[in-house]
Chains A and B, each alone.
Chain A
């Protein structure tokens, strides 16, 4: 009965979404407050219904109700509870329901926290969100219904894909979807503004927290996915330029551009049209990603099941929303007034350059992702566009971008002093070179490019600190005063610094791993030793073990440095009994920010086994940097200014004026 209630709640959600799609738009046109008021309350009820539905499905997974086809196909009664629960979205139907849940969650959040928005804008934004909701609810109900029942019910499920039986599944998809779907809010804001035909600096401020939140979660989601692929797939790589990865990376690039252009628009009322366009493009890329991953156009671990009707349906959603938004844009954009002017060398100028490079790199990734698909459709020829293409094009584009990153915050608005900004960075650039050189000598043997790359990473990290340093005016003022000024800086300044610093840390990790990692593939027998990264591994032998729903052969290695044992690690190969599917579980040991990665290959006839050993210097920097970026996002989100005019829109202006002016 719970399952059926969940199913009914989902259908009911469709009805509510239909009402919220229509009534508020009519209300906004007629300036009818009651109709517009349907939007926030309707959005919250909508979220409630989808939550109910999602909980019902989760319950079916928790109790292994195999009369639900989706549970039978993707669960097993002997799986640990955490995989039963995260298995809810470890399949196509469930993951779409999670998509919908997060979409309605964002609508509800806009309804709750959007009290500072003008009534008409809020009504329109929520209505546009509801349009997307209608489309995806229909998609789920008609082509990917997780509530279809089986009678009689089978006695045992078919198990979750073993690769997905990992704590990563509990974290990666929700984070990624919070990012992906979060950009729907920016899209809705853009479309709503276009519907109203009026857009101004205030719009940019209203949309910024949503962009920031989505960007933060997407950063975390992508980083998490990358780390998961790194330790689970056993190939030792952390980014493969796989189309599925690109599908999540493109909205991130466009979203990063959006984040920066919204800043210009908010401050200077410039780049209005461009910002609106970026908001539309970013969510379009999210939809494109969903289409690529869910339609079965790409076959991968993410394409749980392929079904042409689903692909066609998502393609229709994609065309309607993207096409519709661009048509609206083409119609309305010429009527929008353009805003302030600025000199090329100014913070605006730097941000425009940032946008330029980010959009070009998005287009590069898009080309590299879609070109093989288009080619295969047209000519049947299969090609794969891999790392060489992306490293050459994308990598080259990133270098100038990374160089200007620390300059942006140092330049003044409107008319900046490039020389002044550069002077402030001289010291940092010099220091970066020295430290980079030092690291180069320590590792001794990487190519010169690696040394430059390391210097670039350090330049980014120090550059972000320089911004704070100069803003607080350390050096010129007494320390205590400067420190007080530092504390007085808006949180968004710290957010910016943290995000840029995180980028630097990530660059550092990428360069270090790419240049200095070592890989050994060797056949080992019990008692044999191997050297990697200054450590010695001793292969102590194999052992069989049994898990709840798998059997495994595990190899034990003792790791020692200079004859002293410092760590030990298990690396194993598993067979999941229900699907008879093998997986590898790499053994990973961290030494500081570096890791030793041990993965098992095939056993040899003479009793040995193929072992792959990687030494990954500073690899954790890649994800540590992402975490710092994420923290920067949250710090910036907590900035008081994003709540401005906000706490309650009935607040009298006088009360605002009473707040300390920091």
Chain B
């Protein structure tokens, strides 16, 4: 309501100020040339001064005086160009009406078309003070708190799994490491860090990640989840006998009918049966044992499958970043460029994701032709 009152006051004020000149009687009009004559009179004085300074010869000064004099005469003697200084102001009824109507008509119509009437301001400070249950805001608030108190382990503990769930793996990684550093290692934190790394590496349990899971298992031998990742890591690394033993141990220690029973069985089958046609991520880890050339081929295959997935579902910024970088690493500049362009179609340059793509392009030197 206050908003509309303000709008009304503003509009009325503007209209009122605009019509003011129309209301005032204006008895006299300057003829256009009086102002001109003032300039020429001043120029005359300039000649005198220049003459005194010796900048102008006597003869030149006379010529100049004559020249300006002619201009001055023309200006002062000019017919008044049919000016009729109106003794009475003309009535401006129609003009006044138009001027009064124009601001509210155009203002309101235009604003209602373009604006968001009545939408309140939302300064961040006020929103942070009263975040309600908006996860994003709670997160932002916690981040600010941690930026001020970087040694608040409980804060990092709280934030880490949230980052993990929202796919901000780099942040989650940092948060888990911080909470481990400040509050010490627990099986949960170690497993969380490990899982973050697995997620960030698209399902591959790196040696480092397996190390964290192993530490978690050491602290809590009954932690099935961590044990599963250790086993998975072994499987992916091609250490099949060890993986088989680990999976079997999990099966043995699990209560009958556990939710993960089927998953474990699948892995046991895969590891023991050498199941063909199963080009899982496991093979990639196995690539560590391959020759350089074979490894290249394997990586290339992985990149192709990523490209296929992105074709089907382009709304995956991490995927695009990875693809562009992979192409570049493989030395396939043109493919990298194409992928960048395709990615930019989904995430245009003005979006944050688009900026990340462009930043990557700059970083790895794909710059020219795309960004300055």
Which residues of A are at the interface with B, using a C-beta cutoff of 8 A?
1-5, 7-9, 11-12, 14-16, 18-19, 23, 31-35, 37-38, 41-42, 45, 49, 60, 63-67, 73, 77-78, 116-121, 141, 145, 147, 149, 151-156, 158, 200-202, 205-206, 267-269, 299-301, 304-306, 340, 382, 412-415, 471, 473, 485, 488-490, 578-582, 641, 644-645, 649, 651, 653, 656-657, 661-662
Q: Sample 13 A-B pairs with CB under 8 A, ordered by A number.
A: A3-B119, A4-B115, A7-B114, A8-B111, A11-B111, A23-B99, A33-B29, A41-B21, A147-B115, A153-B122, A202-B35, A489-B53, A641-B42
* B297 partner residues in chain A, CB cutoff 8 A: none
Contact yes or no, A653 B41, CB < 8 A = yes
On chain B, the residues within 8 Å of A23 by CB distance are 95, 99
B-chain residues with CB within 8 Å of residue A45 when the two chains form the complex: 14, 17-18
A579 vs chain B, min Cβ distance (A):
5
| Closest-CB distance, B351 to chain A (whole angstroms) | 8
Q: In chain B, residues 351-372, which have Cβ atoms closer than 8 Å to a Cβ of chain A? A: 351-352, 355-356, 359, 362-363, 369-372
Bound together, the chains give a CA A4 to CA B370 distance in angstroms of: 36
Query: Ordered nearest first, which 9 A-B pairs have the shortest CB separation?
Result: A645-B38, A63-B123, A37-B21, A155-B136, A15-B106, A118-B32, A64-B124, A11-B110, A202-B39
B368 to chain A minimum Cβ distance, whole angstroms, is 10
Could you say which of A1, A340, A657 contacts B120, with CB atoms under 8 Å apart? A1
Select the residue from B71, B121, B363 with max chain A CB neighbours within 10 A.
B121
- Residue of B whose beta carbon sits closest to that of A121: B32
Q: How far is the CA of A488 from the CA of B46 in the complex (A)?
A: 12
Q: Which residues of B contact A15 (CB under 8 A)?
A: 14, 102-103, 105-107, 110
> Which chain A positions have C-beta within 8 A of B350?
73, 304-305
B21-44 interface (Cβ within 8 A of A): 21-22, 24, 26, 29-43
Q: How far is the CB of A469 from chain B (nearest CB, A)?
A: 13
Q: Which of B38, B107, B134 sits near A12, CB closer than 8 Å?
A: B107
B29 to chain A, nearest CB (A): 5
Docked CA distance A156–B42 (Å): 61
Contact A38 B36 (CB under 8 A): no
Which residues of B does A touch, CB under 8 Å? 2-3, 6-7, 10-11, 14, 17-18, 20-22, 24, 26, 29-43, 45-46, 48-49, 53-57, 60, 63-64, 67, 71, 75, 82-84, 86, 89-90, 92, 95, 98-99, 102-103, 105-107, 110-111, 114-125, 127, 134, 136-137, 139-140, 144, 147, 349-352, 355-356, 359, 362-363, 369-372
Contacts of A16 in B (CB 8 A): 14, 18, 103
Min CB distance A523 to B, Å, is: 19
CA A42 – CA B111 in complex, angstroms?
20
State whether B355 touches A14 (Cβ < 8 A).
no
Residues in A neighbouring B22, C-beta threshold 8 A: 34-35, 37-38
Task: Find out whether the CB atom of B17 lies under 8 angstroms from the CB atom of A41.
Answer: yes
CB of A49 to closest CB in B, whole Å: 7
Q: Which residues of A are found within 8 Å of B55, using beta-carbon distances? A: 412, 471
**A4 interface neighbour in B29, B41, B119, B371, Cβ under 8 Å:** B119
Indicate whether A67 sits within 8 Å of B30 (C-beta atoms), given known contacts A1-B3, A8-B10, A645-B38.
no
Residues of chain B within 8 A (CB-CB) of A306 are: 349
Contact A12 B122 (CB under 8 A): no
Do A413 and B60 have beta carbons less than 8 Å apart?
Answer: yes
Q: A16-B103, A65-B122 are in contact. Are A118 and B35 (CB under 8 A)?
A: yes
Known: A4-B115, A18-B106. A269 touches B36 (CB 8 A): no
Query: CB distance B147 to A116 under 8 Å?
Result: no
- Chain A residues with CB under 8 A of B140: 77, 155-156
> A149: which of B20, B24, B116 is its contact (CB, 8 Å)?
B116
- The reply to whether A66 and B122 form a contact with Cβ atoms under 8 Å apart is yes
Q: Which of B20, B89, B117, B121 contacts A65 (CB 8 A)?
A: B121
B26 touches A158 (CB 8 A): no
Contacts of B6 in A (CB 8 A): 1, 5
Nearest A residue to B101, CB-CB: A15
Complex contacts, B35 vs chain A, CB 8 Å: 116-118, 202, 645, 649
Assembly CA distance A301 to B362 (angstroms): 13
- Tell me whether A8 and B115 are in contact in the complex, defined as CB-CB below 8 angstroms, given that A66-B122, A414-B63, A661-B45 are known contacts: yes
Enumerate chain B residues within 8 angstroms of A37, measured Cβ to Cβ: 21-22, 24, 26
When the two chains form the complex, which single residue of B3, B21, B370 contacts A34, counting CB atoms closer than 8 Å?
B21
In angstroms, Cα B38 to Cα A88, docked, is 44
Which of A4, A118, A154, A473 sits near B117, CB closer than 8 Å?
A4
- The answer to whether A641 touches B99 (Cβ under 8 A) is no
The answer to whether A154 and B115 touch (CB under 8 A), given A42-B18, A645-B35, is: no
Q: Which residues of B contact A49 (CB under 8 A)?
A: 14
Distance of A375 from chain B, by nearest CB (Å): 15
- Quick check: B124 and A66 within 8 Å, CB to CB? yes
